[in-house]
Structure formats: C-alpha cells, structure tokens
Structure 1
Amino acid sequence: MEKVAKEINWNKLAEGVINGKKISKEDARSILTSSNKDILQLMDAAYQIRHYYFSNKVKLNMIINTKSGLCPEDCGYCSQSIVSEAPIDKYAWLTKEKIVEGAYEAKRRKAGTYCIVASGRKPTDREVNHVIGAVKEIREQTDLKICCCLGFLNENQASRLAEAGVHRYNHNLNTHADHYESICSTHTYEDRVETVNHAKDAGISPCSGAIFGMGETLDQVVDIAFELNRLDADSIPCNFLVAVEKTPLEGTKELTPLQCLKILAMMRFVNPTKEIRISGGREVNLRGLQPLGLYAANSIFVGDYLTTEGQEPTDDWQLIEDLGFEIEECAL
C-alpha cells in the first residue's frame, strides 16, 4: 500500500451513507489503505449498508459461454483473446437448444439470473437473432432474469434485445480510462462506455464492473467506483485477476485476500444501493476469506466462469447458509 489512511470511524461513515450522504474520494481511498487490523470493523460498517438495502439476501448468477475463443480483441487479461495462447476450448455458437438447456441448469443451481455470454468484438444481426430466439423461449418457460454479454452493441441491437425480454446487459469498463491502453489496444474505454449507454437508453438494466489487480493505482480503483456510480450501473461485477498462463498478464500477482475485501467494501460505500457481485477470481483471490466478502457484496456467480473453474454450487449454498444469509428467490 502507498500511504496509511487517516483515522475514520467506519460505522459513522456508513451511517452517513445510509442517510443519503455520498462519501468523498479521499474517504474511499482511505478504505483501500486502511490497516489490516481494522478489517473486521470495516466489513461490519460495509455490512450495515448492505443489510439496510438488501437484508441478508444473496443473488446467484450463472454463466453460459455460448461462443468461446476466436476473439479478434487483444485484451491482455483474457484467455479468449487473439494474443492468448492459453489452451482453452474454442467453438462457435452453441445451438438455441443448448442455450435453453443451460437455463434449466441455472435453475438447478438456484440462480435467479442466467447470463448468456459470447466472445468476440460485437455480434452480427444474425447472431443477435440467434440469442433472441433462445431468450424468448427461456422467458416463456422459466422465471429467470436474463443477462446478455455479447460485446459492443449498436442502438438497434440493444432495442431488439430489450423487446425480446433481456433484463440486463453486461459490458464491463474493465479498468481505468488512463490505464486502458496498457491492457487493450483494439478498442477504447470510450467504446465500452458507449455500449453501456446504448443498453440504458434501450431500457435494459446496465451491468458494468471491472477487473482488479492489473496494475491500476489505488486512485484509479477509486475512480472506477465513482465512474460506475456516474453511469448508474445497477449491477457491478468485481472481478479479481486470474493471471491465466500464456496470456500477457501471466504471472501477475498483485492482490491479497484482505485487499480484495477492501475493494468490495469501498464499492459498497460508493454504490450503496447497487448489486455488488463478487465475480471472476473469487475463489483464487479471496480464498479462505470468501465468506467475509458477502458482508459487503450481495451477489456471486455460482459454478464455473467463462474459461476458469468456480467451486461446486453446493459449496456456495453451504457458505451462504453458514453465514445465516439466504439465497434470493427469483421473482419478476
């Protein structure tokens, strides 16, 4: 860490947030630089905010990777990118039947949100039609909420997905605007913001977050949290880098479990009313401190991620039960 935080009464700061007061960037940075010995007090304060808005409910989400690899983008963290030599499965689009089948698996895993994800820069109109066909069938047969993550969207595609019944669109900022060129050169930070706004304008709930541990500074981590607040993202996935072998970021190891907890707490203070989701890298980076993360966050992925493994759903169910929390039932 760079410098020690000023002394702050975390519970008093949380009380102010609950009463509608926004914290400053200085206070947010102080969360990230707080002493490790104060971690329980910090997480307790974050929990006061989390409990006020979400009680002890935990939202479960499940991903299906409908198109793997074959991506022309050069994102340094991604095993599916054109610059990655990671030995992953590569395949074109799954059939509509397979996508619908995945929705029933999401229900079995007690997920309330089913995330249809595809690699690539942006979908063609034909690919959007393929997704829409699956979405309509899933909506007819289940009560799942559906999130799509298909890359960059134009306004027409966003409107058509909304009309088909897509509830949420995920498009992460991934990192700070000033750090973006060191992570990716084939598109810009502004391109990502534009897609988030297209989803919002179409009436789709925006889901956008970041990947932490890629060389960003503490001030940039804070700025990301405030930018997500400005964008009014309803769901904020907090990913912690899994430095996959044979990707440009292979060997990167910047985060400790305690640093991950501080990032989650800071996100909760800055975005008190939003779904904060512990996403990719949860098991690898938080390790034995995973349960503490849910004192700030109110959402997790259940099962595997895109090309990395998660833990068994039964382990997640048990973790939630052991905390005295409960899985949020899917209701529309």
Structure 2
Amino acid sequence: MLKDLTERILSGGEVFFETEDLKILMDSDLTELCRSADRLRKYFCGDHGDLCTIINGKSGRCSEDCRFCAQSSYHQTRAEEYAFLPAAEIIKDCKAQEQKGVHRYSIVTAGKSIGGDDFLKALEAYRGMSAQSSLSLCASHGLLSHEAFLKLKENGVNRYHCNLETSRRFFPQVCSTHTYDDKIENIQRAKKAGLEICSGGIIGMGETMEDRISMALDLAGLKVDSIPINVLTPIPGTPLENRQRLKEEEILRTVAVFRFLNPKAEIRLAAGRNVMEENGRKAFLSGANGAITGDMLTTSGNKTEGDRQLLIQLGYTLN
C-alpha cells in the first residue's frame, strides 16, 4: 500500500489523501517509509541542499505567551534582551555567513509584530544586505500588513517566515495571545505581496501525529515553499520545560510524512537537530533537503561547515 501511494504521488497528479492513506503513513515500516520519502525528495526536488542561517535581530520582552519560547515576557527564562541591532552589524554578519557557504539569511525579531523605527531599521538592513551580498533574504517579523510585506519585497526580501507552529486543534494549548487564523491570514497577505513562504512548526510539544499531519495538510493547502521542522528543546522557565524529548524514530517518521504530504516543498530541519544522531543524517535520507544552520534564536545550533560536509557526503549539491 505504501508503494501504491508513492507511485500515485510520483505520477505528478494532485493527490487527495484519504483517511486510509494517512493511516498508511502512520503505520508503515519506518525504513520503507523513509526510503520512499527520499525517493519523492529526489524526484521532485533533485539533490540540491539548501542552508539558511538566522540572526536574532531583536531579543526578549515578547508580548506573546507561546509556551515553548524563551523570549516570551510571560516566562522567567533569563533570555537575553536587547533592542533592534544596528544595520551595519547585521550586514556584517550576513556577509560573514555568505563566506561560510549558506544560501539564505534571515532577520528574526521577537514580538507579535514590528513597526515604527524598528521596521525602518529592518528595511535599512535588508537594503544593505541586498546591495552587498548575493544571498536570498528572508524575514521573520510576526504579523504584518499587506503594505509592510510590499515594503519588505521592495527592499530585497524574497521569502517570509511565519510558522503555524502546530495543528489548528492543538494551537490553543500553545498560544492564547494570537490565533491560528491570524497565522493563516498573515501567510496569505505575504503571498499576495509576492513573497515566497517559509512556514512549519515545532514537534514534541504534546501534540499527536494526527496533529502533525493536520498541520502538514494545511501547509500543503497554502502551497508554502519551505517547511522548517523544529524539535522542541525544553527550556527551563517555560511551561514546557519538563516535556520529554522525542525519540529519533518519531522525528524521522514526521519528516517522512511531511515529505509525502508536501512533495515539492523544501523540508528544512531546524532547532533540535543537534540532539539527533550525526546531526540528523538519517533525516536527510528521509525526505529533508534543507536546514537552518548556525546558532538558533535561543539554543545552540549546528556549525555550517559540518552541515555542508554532511550534505556533500550524502550526495547533495550546494551551489
């Protein structure tokens, strides 16, 4: 049955996933599922690996109550707090990351949105990076207006990041200060402005595999370009600090399922990868074809050169 499902997807036609199809993805032998997901990745995406790095452009004092986040003002985590970084500092870091061989660079800021002087500083940074580097520029600044998205695009940004985080059903267990529909509508505004979309979520917060599938199907419906899969890193001081870490087998199944449900998207390993065997080596053979590299927002990430060597060893090209 897994082989039949794989062939249906490879045929290139639109696949409407029946309940039985989803059960196959949840229950199939993991080795066969991962092998089939890798086959889909190769067919639809080729062997190009995509590396993105991020800079925490403004840290701490976030107004939102996301239960996983060290930067929320609702939690006592002692996360670093600072105002928006100078544009020159961001541009310098961008150029340094370009020398390390990444493909994309993103500024991420804490908060529900960004506006006023901070937004102007962000635009200045994007203009400078666009003029002084050849990297694709991404942005992650929360919920914005259509006009703000147009401004980002005019100043060199070509992709916007806005995670759904989890399923519609489970979202109220994760955040109460904004809604799942706020996220969906934000993504739609960014798409209308002509931006590509990076949107995924966090696994290991207490959600079920059915929740993950629901999120993956919503992402498929939105036709997002890149899907970052974060594995929860329980942070002391957050409500999820005692959450048990996922086993690698469950992470691999999730990655493979996301590839089946989003065969043409970049499936990007993000936070939590450094606790996986060989920094997620098996995941890159299970449907993943991208990664966020370098340090994460508030947790330690993977070193770029090590990630490049890993992907090259697995047969990826990194042009």
Letter in 2 for 1:16: R
Q: State the Cα distance separating 1:76 from its structure 2 match.
A: 0.3
Question: What are the superposed Cα offsets for residues 2-21 of structure 1, whole Å, 9 maximum, x if unpaired?
Answer: xxxxxx3x343222211124
What is the aligned partner in structure 1 of residue 31 from structure 2? 40
What is the aligned partner in structure 2 of residue 18 from structure 1? 10
**What SS does structure 2 have at the residue aligned with 1:92?**
coil
What is the aligned partner in structure 2 of residue 255 from structure 1? 246
Work out whether 1:325 is the aligned partner of 2:311: no
Work out whether 1:56 is the aligned partner of 2:44: no
Between the aligned partners of 1:173 and 1:311, the Cα distance in structure 2 is: 24
Q: State the Cα distance separating 1:126 from its structure 2 match.
A: 2.6
What is the aligned partner in structure 2 of residue 5 from structure 1? none
Work out whether 1:287 is the aligned partner of 2:277: yes
Question: Do the aligned partners of 1:215 and 1:254 also contact (CA within 8 Å) in 2?
Answer: no
Q: Which among 111, 133, 142 is matched to residue 120 of structure 1? A: 111
What is the aligned partner in structure 1 of residue 196 from structure 2? 205
Between the aligned partners of 1:29 and 1:91, the Cα distance in structure 2 is: 46
Moved over 6 A (4+): none
Between the aligned partners of 2:170 and 2:306, the Cα distance in structure 1 is: 36
Q: Map 1:162-173 onto structure 2 (within 5 A).
A: 162-173=153-164
Question: Do the aligned partners of 1:125 and 1:157 also contact (CA within 8 Å) in 2?
Answer: no
Q: Map 1:190-201 onto structure 2 (within 5 A).
A: 190-201=181-192
What is the aligned partner in structure 1 of residue 25 from structure 2? 31
**What SS does structure 1 have at the residue aligned with 2:157?**
coil
Between the aligned partners of 2:250 and 2:267, the Cα distance in structure 1 is: 16
Letter in 1 for 2:24: S
Question: What are the superposed Cα offsets for residues 175-204 of structure 1, whole Å, 9 maximum, x if unpaired?
Answer: 111211111111111111111111001001
Work out whether 1:218 is the aligned partner of 2:212: no
Q: Which among 239, 262, 274 is matched to residue 271 of structure 1? A: 262
What is the aligned partner in structure 2 of residue 75 from structure 1? 66
Alignment RMSD (CA, Å): 1.5
From the superposition, tell whether residues 259 and 103 of structure 1 become closer, same or farther in structure 2 (CA, over 3 Å).
same
Letter in 2 for 1:68: S
Question: Do the aligned partners of 1:174 and 1:209 also contact (CA within 8 Å) in 2?
Answer: yes
Between the aligned partners of 1:109 and 1:190, the Cα distance in structure 2 is: 38
Q: State the Cα distance separating 1:255 from its structure 2 match.
A: 1.6
Question: Do the aligned partners of 1:96 and 1:130 also contact (CA within 8 Å) in 2?
Answer: yes
Question: What are the superposed Cα offsets for residues 128-182 of structure 1, whole Å, 9 maximum, x if unpaired?
Answer: 2211111111111111100000111011111111111211000000011121111
Between the aligned partners of 2:185 and 2:55, the Cα distance in structure 1 is: 24
**What SS does structure 2 have at the residue aligned with 1:294?**
helix
What is the aligned partner in structure 2 of residue 103 from structure 1? 94
Residues matched between the structures, number: 316
Q: State the Cα distance separating 1:289 from its structure 2 match.
A: 6.8
Question: Do the aligned partners of 2:273 and 2:279 also contact (CA within 8 Å) in 1?
Answer: no
Between the aligned partners of 1:25 and 1:130, the Cα distance in structure 2 is: 47
For normalisation by structure 1, the TM-score amounts to 0.91
Between the aligned partners of 1:191 and 1:59, the Cα distance in structure 2 is: 28
Q: Which among 136, 143, 150 is matched to residue 134 of structure 2? A: 143
Between the aligned partners of 2:278 and 2:135, the Cα distance in structure 1 is: 30
**What SS does structure 1 have at the residue aligned with 2:169?**
helix
Between the aligned partners of 2:89 and 2:168, the Cα distance in structure 1 is: 37
Structure 2 segments unaligned to the other structure (5+ residues): none
Q: State the Cα distance separating 1:324 from its structure 2 match.
A: 2.3
Identical columns (%):
34
Question: Do the aligned partners of 1:96 and 1:133 also contact (CA within 8 Å) in 2?
Answer: yes
Q: State the Cα distance separating 1:242 from its structure 2 match.
A: 0.8
Q: State the Cα distance separating 1:321 from its structure 2 match.
A: 2.3
Question: Do the aligned partners of 1:115 and 1:148 also contact (CA within 8 Å) in 2?
Answer: yes
From the superposition, tell whether residues 106 and 29 of structure 1 become closer, same or farther in structure 2 (CA, over 3 Å).
farther
From the superposition, tell whether residues 303 and 321 of structure 1 become closer, same or farther in structure 2 (CA, over 3 Å).
same
Between the aligned partners of 1:279 and 1:240, the Cα distance in structure 2 is: 7
**What SS does structure 1 have at the residue aligned with 2:267?**
strand
Question: Do the aligned partners of 1:167 and 1:205 also contact (CA within 8 Å) in 2?
Answer: yes
For normalisation by structure 2, the TM-score amounts to 0.95
Question: Do the aligned partners of 1:236 and 1:276 also contact (CA within 8 Å) in 2?
Answer: yes
